[in-house]
Structure 1
Amino acid sequence: MQGRIHPLPAVLGLVAVAVLVCRTGLQGIARFGRQYGTPLAHALGFRRGPTPSASTLSQTLRRIDPQQLEAALGRWIAGRLTPDARAHVALDGKCLRGSRDGDVPGPHRVAAYAPHAAAVLGQIRVDAQTNEHQAALALLGIVPVGGSVLTGGATFCPRDVAAAVVDGGGHYVLTAKDNQPGLVADIEAGLGFEDAARGLAAATSP
Structure 2
Amino acid sequence: MRYPLTALLAVAVCAVMAGASSFAAITDWLHDLDERAQERLGFTAGVPVGSTVWRILTRLDDTLLGTVLAGWLRTRAPVEVTRPRRYRTVIAIDGKTLRGARTGGGRQVHLLSALDTTTGIVLAQVTVDAKSNEIPAFAPLLDAVEQVLGTLAGVLFIADALHTQTGHADEVTARRAHLLVQVKANQPTLFKQLKQLPWAQIPVGDRTRDRGHGRRETRTVKAVTVATPGGIAFPHAQQAVRITRTRIVAGKTSRETAYLTASLPAGQALPRDLQTWIRRHWHIENKIHHVRDVTFREDLHQARTGTGPAVIATLRNTAIGWHRTTGATNIARATRHANRRSHDLITAVTSSYPTTQ
Q: TM-score range by the shorter chain?
A: 0.7 to 0.9
Larger strand percent: 2
Match of 2:3 among 6, 17, 23: 6
Distance 1:131 1:29, change over 3 A: same
Distance 1:86 1:58, change over 3 A: farther
Which amino acid is the alignment partner of residue 31 of structure 1?
D
**Aligned residue in 2 for 1:113:** 115
Provide TM-score, normalisation by structure 2: 0.47
Provide TM-score, normalisation by structure 1: 0.77
Assess if the C-alpha contact under 8 Å between 1:34 and 1:50 holds in 2.
no
Do structure 1's residue 53 and structure 2's residue 49 form an aligned pair?
yes
Assess if the C-alpha contact under 8 Å between 1:37 and 1:50 holds in 2.
no
Distance 1:197 1:34, change over 3 A: closer
Deviation at 1:134, TM superposition (A): 1.3
> Aligned with 1:99: secondary structure?
strand
Largest Rg, 1 or 2 = 1
Do structure 1's residue 151 and structure 2's residue 147 form an aligned pair?
no
In 2: Cα distance, 1:114 partner to 1:149 partner:
10
In 2: Cα distance, 1:57 partner to 1:73 partner:
18
Higher relative contact order, structure no. (Cα contacts within 8 Å, ≥ 6 residues apart): 2
Cα-to-partner distance string for 1:81-134 (whole Å, 9 max, x where unaligned)? 6696971100011123x7358xx7752211001121011001111232221111
In 2: Cα distance, 1:40 partner to 1:105 partner:
39
Question: How many pairs were matched up?
Answer: 189
In 2: Cα distance, 1:87 partner to 1:29 partner:
34
Which amino acid is the alignment partner of residue 61 of structure 2?
D
Identity of aligned residues (%): 26
Distance 1:163 1:80, change over 3 A: farther
Distance 1:23 1:172, change over 3 A: same
Distance 1:40 1:163, change over 3 A: farther
Larger helix percent: 1
Runs of 4+ residues deviating >6 angstroms: 83-86
**Aligned residue in 1 for 2:39:** 42
Assess if the C-alpha contact under 8 Å between 1:88 and 1:116 holds in 2.
yes
RMSD of aligned residue pairs (Cα, Å): 2.9
In 1: Cα distance, 2:202 partner to 2:49 partner:
71
Structure 1: 5+ residue stretches without partners: 199-206
- 1:56-71 to structure 2, matched below 5 A, reads 56-71=52-67
In 1: Cα distance, 2:57 partner to 2:159 partner:
32
In 1: Cα distance, 2:62 partner to 2:195 partner:
42
Deviation at 1:78, TM superposition (A): 5.4
